Structure 1
Amino acid sequence: MPHTSPARKAPLTREDDPLFFTPVPFAVKRFGGWTPDRQRQFIYQLSRIGVVSAAAKAVGMSRDSAYKLRGRKGADSFATAWDMALEMGHDNANEHAITRAIEGYIVPYFYGGVMRGEVRRYDNRLLFALLKARSK
């Protein structure tokens, strides 16, 4: 049977991806700066994490430089994607917290320096905090 490669997908457009954006332009390219790829990775990480400083750190940049990039001329598309990614990240964090509060999490227990088993713990404080936040 001949080897067939998977069909190539067309590049994503704004209609296909809510996080599609035009990267912030720079007149001079600098090593280690906010390249278009790094901007895309930042937006992706922000959509997963929902925390600007953590997303910036994940791509090797600082929180302050991310905010400076957002404030640059020509950053409107980037800022729109940022807002959408931040909302998605918050939704992801809430979903994860709810799952953890309801389903619990596994904690290993040790005796004599040897793991003897696991116990499932539930975090009711987390659940109450989420319910309180939703009621506002």
Structure 2
Amino acid sequence: MDALPDFLRFTPVSTRARHDGWTEAAQRRFILSLARGLGPSAAARREGKSRQTAYALRAKPGAESFAAAWDAAQDFARGADVALEAALPGTRDDVMLIPRYYRGRLIGFVQRSDHRALFRTLRALDRVTDRLDTPGNCQS
């Protein structure tokens, strides 16, 4: 897979093969869910797993890369929350000034929040999710 976000570039924890286990694809989807702002409990539930098994996976020997991806995904989600907060009305960050004209003369400017960067990020995460959900993109 090309152009993956940094938090998805991790070495999955090697696990015993089980039909209900933490496969490579499940681990990547879990990390992606964390990046989208879900907590560990909700992200694990989304994969049909429990919070306890997610934390047990994180604590396994050799899971350092997975743990780092977990932390990076949560940092990414916190950054997206800050960006969304900044884009809400009443803040001065990421404001566009739109010129207003009357009869060909500039009469002033209107301030508008600029949400484009935030929506580009969310669309990119959606594309990654679609690629991960396509059969054959991640080995189980």
TM-score, normalised on structure 2?
A: 0.56
Gaps (5+ residues) in structure 1? 1-10, 104-136
Count how many residue pairs are aligned between Structure 1 and Structure 2: 90
**Aligned residue number for residue 12 of structure 2:** 23
Higher relative contact order (CA 8 A, sep 6+): 2
**Aligned residue number for residue 66 of structure 1:** 54
Kindly state the Cα deviation for residue 32 of structure 1 after the two structures are TM-superposed. Answer: 1.5
Q: 1:32 aligns with which of 20, 28, 31?
A: 20
Kindly state the Cα deviation for residue 56 of structure 1 after the two structures are TM-superposed. Answer: 1.5
> Matched residues, percent identical?
38
Gaps (5+ residues) in structure 2? 92-140
Letter in 2 for 1:12: D
Q: 1:94 aligns with which of 82, 92, 110?
A: 82
Q: Give the 3 Å change call, closer, same or farther, for CA 95–60 of structure 1 in structure 2.
A: farther
RMSD: 2.2
TM-score, normalised on structure 1?
A: 0.57
Q: Distance in 2 between matches of 1:54 and 1:36?
A: 18
Q: Distance in 2 between matches of 1:42 and 1:50?
A: 9
Q: Distance in 2 between matches of 1:53 and 1:100?
A: 28
